Amino acid sequence: MWRVGTVIALHDETATARTITLDVPDWPRHVAGQHVDVRLTASDGYSAVRSYSIASAPNSERRVELTVERLPNGEVSPYLTQEVAVNDRLELRGPIGGWFVWRTQQTEPIQLIAGGSGIVPLMAMIRSRASAVSTAPFRLLYSVREPRAVFYRDELQALLPHDNSVSVSYAYTRTAPKDWPRPPGRIDAALIADATWPSKLVPTCYVCGPTSFVESATCLLTASGNSPDKVRTERFGPTGDRQ
Amino acid sequence: MGITSRGFPGRRSAADAKLPPGQYLTTDFPVLSAGPTPHVSLDQWEFTINEGTDVLRRWDWKSFRDLPTETFATDLHCVTRWSKLGTSWEGVSLDTMFADVKTDAPYALVHSYGDYTTNLPMDDLMNKQAWIGFRFDDEDLEPEHGGPARLLVPHLYLWKSAKWVRGITLMHEDEPGFWESLGYHNYGDPWREQRYSGDE
């Protein structure tokens, strides 16, 4: 069942990532963390489909926001980040997925850990929390290459003064801002100890990012006492250790 | 045919003809798992075939590795739309593992370390269609790809090929597994594009 959405806004998050806002008249309510399949069709009928996480909170306006990172050799993402224009129509299937989701009834502490564009479904959870006026305590640990690779920068920055039960920590892997206390590097045990909920609070953890990032972050979470059944993951991209 | 995407050329490849509908070719081996990768040591590994509360067969790693193995090449099709062609494996055929098992149960629920489950008809596990694989590309199977050993049922979408397998329970009634309870198709034939529940 393919739905048709009309592009109503475009916004560049970074030099390589774009948020596409779609108006989808027959959209059912989604749950934060779910994704959609997007289908592009060439004039001869050839089509290509890829999955993208939904960035927006569930809403009654039947709007769906997707944030797409352009992959260097991608087939669909270059089109979505460079060619698509307002008023274009896109075919969507979804919402899809019932595991990597945060439901507004959840009240336990939530630990979000994002690597790069893995922030997208986690942002939907943060937005869903706000729109549902949930008081569930959230922490986000967001690992990025460099400051200019941060998605949703202003919105994340604006969270703190409003709501001290959402905290955001950044980890920079290649270039940190001037005077940043931690040298650039991957997430390690010390950062997990500083920036995530103590495991004794039994947080539900959502980890999304490239495969190697998710593997190391989940190992650190379980090593620091989080039960594997409280850690939900979404991985993307190649494994890195094989061609 | 859907609505045409203005200015979308598409990227066709010679391999497209060998791919099920809606799939694209990858040369990577992407990883998709619902949670942390379990790290199972070989001296604790075991595999059982159960029916009800009865354990019909049990292997530890050594007795499992004493079983005759097969090398085979197969195509893998993931519901997230990538396909990888001609992957090479070594494993034990489920025909070998079920050789002395007498059952008329028509369904199987496959269990993994890390509590993953998936359900299949027994007919899809027998007759040279399924293996417990432990080597990939001439190397021991890595944990993130399901090592020490994973099920391979390559004629179905890859979520049916449970990683980190620890046993099979024979069932008289079909019972949905993990993804089958979360919106994915109960059977998952890639050539009929049975991705999500509700697909024909």
CATH number attached to the domain at B41-192: 3.90.420.10
What the block records as the tokens of A124 is 């939907």
CA-only gyration radius of chain B, Å: 17
pLDDT of residue B1: 52
Q: Contact, A38 vs A80, CB < 8 A?
A: yes
> Which helix (H) or strand (E) element contains residue B171?
strand B165-171
Which residues have C-beta within 8 Å of that of residue B90, sequence separation ≥ 6? Answer: B69, B70, B71, B72, B133, B134, B135
Asked if A218 and B37 come within 8 Å (Cβ–Cβ), the reply is yes
Q: Which residues pair with A93 in a beta bridge?
A: A37
Domain boundaries, chain A: 3-96, 110-236
Decide: B84 and B146 in contact? Cβ < 8 Å.
Answer: no
pLDDT, one tens digit per residue, over A146-200 is 999 999 999 999 886 666 678 999 999 999 999 999 999 999 999 999 999 999 9
Per-residue pLDDT tens digits for A195-230: 999 999 999 999 999 999 999 999 999 999 999 999
Residue B3: CB atoms within 10 A of its CB come to: 14
Q: Are residues A51 and B2, on separate chains, in Cβ contact within 8 Å?
A: no
**A3-96 adopts what CATH topology?**
Elongation Factor Tu (Ef-tu); domain 3 (2.40.30)
Residue A41: which of B3, B26, B33 has the nearest Cβ?
B3
Mean pLDDT for the stretch of residues A134-154: 96
Is A242's pLDDT higher than 60? no
Q: What ipTM was estimated for this complex?
A: 0.90
Q: What single string gives the DSSP state of each residue in B30-87? A: ----SSPPP---TTT-EEEEEETTEEEEEEEHHHHHTS--EEEEEEEE-TTSEEEEEE
User: 98-117 in A: which are within 8 Å (CB) of B?
Assistant: 98-100
Within 8 A of B196 by CB-CB distance, chain A residues are: 96
The reported pLDDT for the residue numbered A238 is 55
Cβ–Cβ < 8 Å for B69, B75:
no
Asked if A15 reaches chain B (Cβ–Cβ under 8 Å), the answer is: no
pLDDT tens figures, B25-45: 888 888 888 899 999 999 999
Return the residue of B nearest to A218 by Cα. Answer: B36
Largest CA distance in chain A: 57
> pTM of this prediction?
0.94
Contact predicate A18/A68, CB 8 Å: yes
**A110-236 CATH, one of 3.30.70.1060, 3.20.20.100, 3.40.50.80, 3.20.20.70:** 3.40.50.80
Comparing CB atoms, the residue among A48, A89, A243 nearest residue B27 is A243
> Out of B2, B36, B198, whose CB is closest to A41?
B2
Count of other CB atoms within 10 angstroms of residue A79: 22
Predicted confidence (pLDDT) at residue B12 exceeds the cutoff of 90:
no
Beta-ladder partners of A228:
none
pLDDT tens digits, B84-99: 999 999 999 999 999 9
- Cβ contact, residue pair B28, A242, below 8 Å: yes
pLDDT digits (tens, 9 = 90+) for B141-195: 999 999 999 999 999 999 999 999 999 999 999 999 999 999 999 999 999 999 9
Phi, psi of B85 (to 5 degrees): -100, 145
Does A41 sit within 8 Å of B8, measured CB to CB?
A: yes
CB contacts of A239 in chain B (<8 Å) are 28-31, 144-145
Kindly state whether A192 is in contact with chain B, defined as any CB-CB distance less than 8 angstroms.
Answer: no
The distance of Cα A209 from the centroid of its chain, to the nearest Å, equals 8
pLDDT digits (tens, 9 = 90+) for A5-57: 999 999 999 999 999 999 999 999 999 999 999 999 999 999 999 999 999 99
Q: How far apart are CA A126 and CA A152, in angstroms?
A: 11
Q: Which chain B residues are within 8 Å of A77, Cβ to Cβ?
A: none
Query: Residue A240 — pLDDT band, cuts 50, 70, 90?
Result: very low
pLDDT in tens, B110-133: 999 999 999 999 999 999 999 999
Q: Do B2 and A2 touch (CB under 8 A)?
A: yes
